[in-house]
Structure formats: C-alpha cells, structure tokens
A = this chain, B = another copy of it.
Amino acid sequence: MLKDLTITEFLQQTASSEPLPGGGCTAALNAALAASLTEMVANLTIGRREFEAVEDEMINIAETAATLRKKLQNEIDNDAHAYREVLAAFKLPKNTEEEKNRRSDAIQQAFKTAATVPLGVARDALKTMDLASRAIAKGNQNAVTDGAVGVLVSRAAVLAAIYNVKVNLSAIKDPDFVEALAREVEALEGQAIEKEKQILEPLKI
C-alpha cells in the first residue's frame, strides 16, 4: 500500500517513470495533511484552561479531522487502484463484437470510478478547509500558522483532485454523468479559491 511507504520512498516512486503514484495521490495526501494539521491545532487547544470555553468544539473538530485523515490516507491508494483498473480494462480482449462491447463498458466504468475517487477527495478537502478555519479562529493561537498551512494545502488538494476528475471526464461518454460532475467540480473550485482568501487574508501572518 502507498500509505505504508516511507516519505522518502513515496517521493522516489512519484518521481519515477512509473505513472503511479502521480498527481491524484499527491492530492489525496495533501487533503490528509490538511486534516492532520487541523487535528493538531485542535489537539494543542484541548485541555488548556484558557480555552475551556471552546473545549467541546475543539474535541469535535479533532474527532472529525481524525476521521477525515484516516479516510483520506486510504484515498491515496484508492486513487492509484482506480487508475490501475482503467489500464486493466484497456487490456481486456477485443476479438468478438461481444468482447468489444464488454471491454468498452469496462473502460467506461473504470473511468467513472477514476473520476469519482478524486471528486470525493476534493469534497473532503473542502470540508477540511472549513474545519481548519474554525480551529484557527477559536483554537490555540500558537498553532495558527499550522492551521494556515492546513488551509493552503487543502486548496492545493481540492484543485489537484479536480484536475484528476477533469482528465478522466474527458474520456467518459455518458453526457449526464459528465455534466453533473463538471458542474460540481466548477463549484468546488470556486469555493476552494474563495475560502482560502477569506480564511487567510484576515490572519495577517
């Protein structure tokens, strides 16, 4: 599993001429990093007398961020798996008309999954941005830059995941599926860019 590689190994394998891990895995990794940094801000706030008033909210943020972190670290491998399924579908036999149809259906199904996985990453990265915003606003101010870095990398995760949705959409023939996902990623893209500004500009770091 990619999530069990060391940082050094993951970087080296990304750099290689093998297509995996690629940009989609980096997107999921960054969404997971954003969740981790948000969790850290909450964890550095919980149990401190001066933040007693926000204790319950910080426990909730830490728990939600931990759930997102664990989900998103698995998306690194899910993204790679979806890409491998596309390659596998292309390798199906195409000797008879029936085989050709079956292969074509499998390819389309694989591309749909390969578009859906990064769409989920983009959605979760955007959710993490909102969590980070709350942790920054009310949490331990010594960890503000960590939370702010969480926002920066969640923006990168949303936009990177969206590239991977779009590149797969370009191979999908079902117009309703394409239109629905295209509309959603356009909305997510605008929100990620806007939210980053709204959260980070007032910080004046």
Q: Interface on A for B, CB 8 Å cutoff? A: 2-8, 10-12, 14-17, 19, 22-24, 26-27, 29-30, 32-33, 35-37, 39-40, 43-44, 46, 65-66, 69, 73, 76, 143, 145-146, 148-150, 152-153, 155-156, 159-160, 163-164, 166-167, 205
Contact = CB atoms under 8 A, between A and B. Distances in A.
Contacts of A8: 3-4, 73
Contact of A11 (B17, B69, B205): B69
A124 to B, nearest CB: 14
Contacts of A76: 7
- The interface residues of chain A, by DSSP majority, are classed as helix
A3 B14 contact: no
Nearest to A43: B17
Contacts of A39: 14-15
Most buried by B among A7, A24, A69: A7
B16 A43 contact: yes
Copies, count: 2
Given A2-B7, A40-B17, A23 B73 contact: no
A37 B17 contact: no
A33 B40 contact: no
A65 B16 CA distance: 11
Contact of A66 (B15, B46, B163): B15
A22 B40 contact: yes
Contacts of A17: 40, 43-44, 46
A27 B33 CA distance: 10
Nearest to A162: B205
Contacts of A10: 7
A167 B22 contact: no
